[in-house]
């Protein structure tokens, strides 16, 4: 069977439940919460989901979202010094990607189309997050709006890209696209539940647009890596599937869940 994975960062299962009448396309046939982990940083969680390793093992040489190596550690310690001498621009930062994973991602074992996925080929939000890091933006209204609207624009582009590919490309086994605004809205505007709801309704329409275009022999999994409420991450993630099948209960079970779907005859 083909597998389409709609990855919605930080989508909270308890909020989906609370607003479920307004989110019919996120719910699908089977849906509910699963247990994510104490490790609540996005790249580790998605790295775990796509490799089957525990989050703390999936990205061994990584600190936060940039790789750790002795040179990088030295550079980080001396960044102020380097910047003071105009050398800061020589320090190339990058997002972690598939070369940092401790085991191959499931995408590499099947014919896959992967659009902007954390710890794999994440790139679209790098520039804006580098310029407007959370720590400097939270509480600053103007910068929050700039950051959020940029991330939302990227999300819309990704869904359009997925639609275009689904219309003209059939030669894939796994298709994945990652959406960031569901986590971002919680970090920036988490206390404003009406605004969080608006974002959830928007991603529900994303799910609808994808579902219209999927071939019959395709399982659609919609999931998050963790939840989020009032600005902080929650240890529960969301999962739904468009078939009658048992849902994973822990983050570590997703890899086998995907394998089972992909190995099932169409
Ligand atoms: Zn996340």
> DSSP secondary structure string, 64-112?
TTEE--HHHHHHHHTHHHHHHTT-GGGS------GGG-SS--GGGGS-E
- pLDDT tens, residue by residue, 42-62: 889 999 999 999 998 998 876
Q: How far is the CA of 86 from the centre of ligand 1 (A)?
A: 34
Q: How far apart are the CA of 46 and the centre of ligand 1, in A?
A: 8
Residue 266 has pLDDT above 90, yes or no: no
Spacing, Cα 173 to ligand 1 middle (Å)? 25
Strands 2-8 and 174-179: parallel
Give CA–CA dist 10/186, Å, rounded.
8
SS3 sequence, 162-189?
HHHHHHHCCCCCEEEEEECHHHHHHHHH
Q: If DSSP codes are grouped into helix, strand and coil, which group holds residue 3?
A: strand
How many A from CA of 20 to the centre of ligand 1? 21
Cα 222 versus chain centre, distance: 11
Predicted confidence (pLDDT) per residue in 164-222, tens digit: 999 999 999 999 999 999 999 999 999 999 999 999 999 999 999 999 999 999 999 99
All domains of the chain in start order, with CATH: 2-56+97-263 (3.40.720.10), 60-95 (no CATH)
Compute, in angstroms, the gap from residue 228 CA to the centroid of ligand 1: 9
Q: Residue 234 C-alpha to ligand 1 middle, in angstroms?
A: 10
Please check whether residue 105 is in contact with residue 174, taking contact to mean a CB–CB distance below 8 angstroms.
Answer: no
Q: Rounded to the nearest whole angstrom, what is the distance from the C-alpha of residue 177 to the centroid of ligand 1?
A: 14
d(CA 242, CA 4): 10
Residue predicted with more confidence, 215 or 84: 215
69, pLDDT greater than 60 = no
pTM of the full structure = 0.90
Does residue 91 surpass a pLDDT of 60? Answer: no
| Residues, beta carbon < 5 Å, ion ligand 1 | 9-10, 42, 183, 225
| Phi and psi, residue 160, nearest 5° | -60, -40
113-127 pLDDT, tens digit each: 999 999 999 989 988
């Amino acid at each position: 069977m083909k597998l389409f994975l709609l990855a919605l960062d930080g989508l909270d299962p308890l909020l989906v439940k609370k607003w479920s009448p307004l989110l019919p396309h996120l719910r699908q046939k089977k849906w509910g919460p699963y247990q994510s982990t104490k490790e609540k940083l996005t790249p580790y969680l998605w790295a775990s989901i796509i490799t089957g390793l525990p989050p703390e093992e999936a990205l061994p040489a990584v600190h936060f979202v940039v790789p750790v190596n002795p040179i990088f550690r030295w550079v980080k310690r001396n960044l102020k010094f380097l910047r003071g001498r105009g050398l800061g621009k020589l320090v190339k930062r990058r997002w972690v990607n598939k070369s940092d994973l401790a085991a191959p991602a499931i995408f590499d074992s099947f014919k896959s189309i992967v659009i902007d996925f954390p710890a794999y080929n994440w790139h679209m939000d790098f520039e804006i997050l580098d310029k407007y890091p959370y720590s400097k933006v939270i509480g600053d209204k103007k910068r929050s709006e700039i950051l959020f609207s940029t991330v939302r624009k990227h999300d819309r582009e990704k869904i359009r890209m997925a639609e275009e590919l689904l219309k003209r490309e059939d030669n894939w086994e796994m298709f994945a696209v990652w959406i960031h605004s569901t986590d971002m809205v919680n970090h920036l505007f988490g206390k404003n539940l009406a605004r969080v709801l608006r974002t959830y309704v928007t991603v529900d329409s994303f799910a609808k647009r994808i579902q219209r275009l999927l071939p019959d022999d395709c399982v659609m999994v919609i999931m998050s890596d963790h939840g989020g409420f009032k600005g902080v991450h929650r240890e529960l993630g969301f999962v739904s599937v468009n078939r009658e099948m048992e849902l994973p209960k822990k983050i570590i079970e997703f890899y086998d869940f995907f394998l089972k779907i992909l190995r099932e005859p169409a």
